[in-house]
């Protein structure tokens, strides 16, 4: 077996603040969110990445283009329908699911998304917490 070359491996610590980059670099739709994505060959919100939210941060309302699975590594996340996810929770959301989330405590989330996020069909439904 041949050794792994340095260009074939990327390593980052979820506890190293310098490893994160802003999720929304212009801060137009999200503030206080950042991520680590080691595979630069895929879109920002496709595949595996670490998503970090500072206390009080809120995600942009969005619709999942495919299924999304995530693990709350640290902190708590609250969905627009009031569901609270805590450290250790593993969550699956079906493709087409629309939501927005926020955190009061801050959180670190390990995410796997099958496809890119899209704009929600109806923002009014998200604000009312519909299923």
The pTM for the full model equals 0.87
Check residues 92 and 125 and name the one with the higher pLDDT.
92
pLDDT value, residue 130: 46
Regarding the domain delimited by 29-128, which CATH topology (the fold level of the hierarchy) does it fall under? Jelly Rolls (2.60.120)
Mean pLDDT of 70-78: 98
Give the mean model confidence (pLDDT) for residues 94-103.
95
Domain boundaries, the chain: 29-128
Residue 57, pLDDT > 80, answer: yes
54's CB contacts (< 8 A; 6+ apart) are 32, 33, 103, 106
pLDDT on residue 88:
98
Query: In which element (H, E) is residue 12 found?
Result: none
């Amino acid at each position: 077996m041949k050794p792994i070359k340095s260009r074939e491996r990327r390593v980052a610590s979820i506890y190293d603040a310098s490893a994160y980059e802003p999720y929304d670099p212009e801060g137009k739709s999200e503030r206080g969110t950042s991520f680590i994505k080691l595979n630069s060959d895929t879109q920002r919100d496709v595949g595996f990445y670490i998503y970090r939210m500072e206390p009080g941060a809120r995600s942009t309302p969005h619709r999942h283009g495919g299924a999304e699975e995530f693990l709350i590594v640290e902190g708590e996340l609250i969905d627009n329908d009031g569901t609270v996810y805590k450290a250790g929770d593993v969550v699956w959301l079906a493709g087409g699911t629309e939501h927005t989330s926020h955190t009061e405590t801050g959180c670190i989330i390990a995410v796997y998304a099958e496809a890119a996020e899209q704009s929600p069909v109806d923002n009014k439904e998200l604000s009312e917490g519909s299923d």
